[in-house]
Amino acid sequence: MPELPEVEVLVRHLEPLLKNKVIQTVIVRREKVVQPTPPPNLTQTLLGSKFLRVQRRGKYLVFTLRQPVARRDYQLLGHLGMTGRMYLAPVSQEPPKHVPVEMHLGKLKFVFEDTRYFGRLTLDLSPLDELGPEPFEALFTGEYLRQALKGCRQAIKVKLLDQSLVAGVGNIYASEALFDAGISPRKAGGRLTVNETRRLAKSIQKVLLKAIKFGSTVPLNLEGSKKRNGLFYYGTAEGASEYYQERLRVYDKAGQACPKCKTPIRRFVQANRSTYHCPRCQR
DNA sequence: CACCATGTTCCTTG
DNA sequence: CCAAGGAACATGGT
């Protein structure tokens, strides 16, 4: 489940559910997911703490908690990796196969499920220091991109995955944004014209915002116990299939007609990841 | 068995 | 030190 829009939708979903809940039990089943915080350290810190708020920064979830006794506020950092999910469930519910961390909050429990264990739930906030601007903050403009890409010889698609350039864009929305802007994913970052960086900044915002709106509109299945169907990758609840159609325009659509010019969409590999584009619309 | 998968980090090479 | 490329991490789906 994880690029900026998915995390944003999840954060909005979790915020009211977690707010003011007190942690009564912490279960760490996979040390790796919590590191570099030692599990006993994490458990000791969290026990008795109350959730104050849930926010997003890039693809990270930032939980603010309060220890009532010490009267200390602190933050917990979450990341979903490739397959992470976070949701509330009845304490009595049977835990699924891969749940690295679980916290009991009265009759409900906060579940961090992650089949591949690439995600994180830790007290180490240092990854936040490496992040570039949020796509929706005022600083993020075509001019910013132009400056930041100066002298860059790496392909723009690959650069968009660099979280220090912009925070939150991942493999799906990188292809989508470049398609929307009509820019070749192969073009070196430093060779984009002023016009192109302006279009790209706008397209990134447009594509992410559209996805957030989609995720806030459609009934989602955030527990994700069902399989994904490739159209909305964290899965929708029943009866949402009509919304599916136009969500993504090029990602995972190799061989299908480009929505603008009908040329078949192509897939190729950059930096070990799939890129999708229209060879005619994106020069 | 082969290849693919929403992400990040580490190791090598130049 | 920097940039770039590739593999590793771990599990599951097709």
| Mean pLDDT to the nearest integer, A184-192 | 95
* Strand C contacted by A243 CB (< 7 A): no
Q: How far is the CA of A270 from the C1' of C5 (A)?
A: 10
User: What digits encode the pLDDT tens for the residues A111-121?
Assistant: 999 999 999 99
Residue A129 has pLDDT above 70, yes or no: yes
Residue A110 has pLDDT above 60, yes or no: yes
What was the pLDDT predicted at A217?
A: 81
**DSSP-derived 3-state class of residue A8:** helix
Give nucleotides in strand B with any atom < 7 A to a protein C-beta: 4-9
Enumerate the H helices of A24-170 as residue ranges.
31-34, 39-46, 142-148, 156-160
pLDDT band at A188 (very low <50, low <70, confident <90, very high): very high
Q: Please provide the average confidence, as pLDDT, over all residues in chain A.
A: 92
| Mean pLDDT to the nearest integer, A97-125 | 97
* Strand B contacted by A161 CB (< 7 A): yes
Q: What are A155's strand-pairing partners? A: A188
What was the pLDDT predicted at A216?
A: 86
Question: A82-91, A94-103, A117-126, A211-220: lowest mean pLDDT where?
Answer: A211-220
Q: How far is the CA of A267 from the C1' of B14 (A)?
A: 29
* Strand C contacted by A118 CB (< 7 A): yes
Give the span between the Cα atoms of A158 and A203, in whole angstroms: 16
Give nucleotides in strand C with any atom < 7 A to a protein C-beta: 3-14
**A101: closest CA among A7, A33, A47, A49?**
A33
* Strand B contacted by A120 CB (< 7 A): no
Q: Specify whether the CB–CB gap between A190 and A135 falls below 8 A.
A: no
User: What digits encode the pLDDT tens for the residues A219-266?
Assistant: 677 775 554 444 344 555 554 544 555 689 999 999 999 999 999 999
Catalytic residues of A: 2-3, 59, 273
Q: How far is the CA of A259 from the C1' of C2 (A)?
A: 40
What was the pLDDT predicted at A232?
A: 44
In this complex, the residue with its CA at the shortest distance from the C1' of nucleotide C2 is A152
The share of chain A scoring above pLDDT 70, in percent, equals 92
| Mean pLDDT to the nearest integer, A15-44 | 97
* Strand C contacted by A116 CB (< 7 A): yes
- State yes or no: cis peptide before A219, omega within 30 of 0: no
What was the pLDDT predicted at A235?
A: 55
**A118: closest CA among A147, A84, A71, A89?**
A84
* Strand C contacted by A272 CB (< 7 A): yes
